[in-house]
Amino acid sequence: MNSFTIKKNIPLILQWILICSLIGILSGSASAFFLVTLEYMTQTRIANNWIIWLLPIGGLLIGLSYHYCGKTAVKGNNLLLEEYENPQKTIPLIMAPLVLFGTLITHLFGGSAGREGTAVQMGGAIADQFTRIFSLDNSDRKTILILGISAGFASIFGTPLAGALFALELVLFSKISFKSFPLSFLTAYIAYFTVEFWHVKHTQYAIPFVPVISLATFFWITIVSVLFGLAALLFSRSTHLWGKLFSKAITYPPLRPFLGGIILAIAFYFIGSSKYTGLGVPIIVNAFSVANAPYDFLLKILFTGFTLGAGFKGGEVTPLFFVGATLGSALSLVVPLPIALLAGMGFVAVFSGATHTPIACTVMGMELFGIESGVFIGLACVIAYFSSGSMGIYSTQIVKGPKYLLYQKMKRKPADFL
């Protein structure tokens, strides 16, 4: 590349640096605000157990807000993937405040949900507004959506490398512009440091001891990782199943979270525990040192699938962390591997299987738990990815690659049977 070409491209390079900076700062600030307010809502619920009986009212408010203000935005992350694959209309900016409001209400009253969906949708909605501002074409708009997803994910979990890779791997089997790669990493780091600037802290995890890889440990890694993949499959199926059942049974959308809230409140009352409400971060942290009951991960799958299927807002990823960590923790009672290692492997492996993103999840595991556990984390993520079926939590995600080809060979037809 000669000096003339470089000088000619300088304005374009500066434009994209500006776009990355704006998306990273705005999305990171939105995530910082969200994390602070989410913690406040969570603590308010913990201090007032009776508030769970207001879950139906909260559900009705969420249902009405989306029905009258965000009929398109209700698709959530699937709308981002739809627009990436087949660009039609700019993501409505109202998606950001709607999903923020819906998620905070969900967590305040005790719904079982996550937070990544909120951050990614806020990031995507904010980012896509620059398509209009800078008059970008459809190819550049795809890059913009990747940047929004990257910024949202990196800022909400404090994992910039994984955030950048997650955004790219999520749309891996669609057309990706080469420039999206460095820009995704740049935006992720800007969003991450923006949250750091606001002095908002992320949850810390640790795997204090990692054994040596041997034939015996490899055997146990394979066994538990297949179980993590099956848990991911069950989680994905559950979420989609409840969504379809609510859609068929209740034609007026705002009533779905209202009735769902009634059922959830009654169920939580009879269980007599708040263990499965909200994010469940204390349970996840505890899973690294104390063995969980073998049914904890199943009940989290049930309650999260029901909560999201009914129309409450949030995300699936933190519940996936809960499912994986508690399953790994429970398996420590019979599997001769350290409990923290099993919990950490499950933490990212179930996520890998449910989103078809083993590379991003491997990197995330190393960012969260340390590079020493990288081999165990990587094997768990890849094996769970292959054993989790072709149905993920995002119904509009294009799933191809080695897993898709494997299922075709196994059944001699397109791999849509799982």
pLDDT the model gives residue 410: 62
According to CATH, the superfamily of the domain at 7-197 is Clc chloride channel (1.10.3080.10)
**pTM for the full model?**
0.94
pLDDT at 319 (0 to 100):
97
Residues of the chain with CATH 1.10.3080.10: 7-197, 215-411
For residues 354-374, average pLDDT: 96
User: Stretch 341-363: mean pLDDT, rounded?
Assistant: 97
- Mean pLDDT of the chain, nearest integer: 93
Check pLDDT > 70 for residue 401. no
Is residue 406 scored above 90 in pLDDT? no
Q: With bands split at pLDDT 50, 70 and 90, how would you rate the model's confidence at 397? A: confident
Phi, psi angles (nearest 5°) of residue 157: -110, -10
Instruction: Express each pLDDT in 161-201 by its tens digit.
Output: 999 999 999 998 777 888 999 999 999 999 999 999 999 99
pLDDT for position 418? 45
pLDDT in tens, 201-238: 999 999 999 999 999 999 999 999 999 999 999 999 99
Percent of the chain with pLDDT over 90: 87
pLDDT digits (tens, 9 = 90+) for 101-146: 999 999 999 999 999 999 999 999 999 999 999 999 999 999 999 9
| Alpha carbon distances (Å) from 292 to 19, 66, 138, 288, 321 | 45, 37, 48, 9, 14
pLDDT at 398: 73
Q: Is the pLDDT of residue 256 over 90?
A: yes
Fold of 215-411: Clc chloride channel (1.10.3080)
Judge whether residue 393 has pLDDT over 80: yes
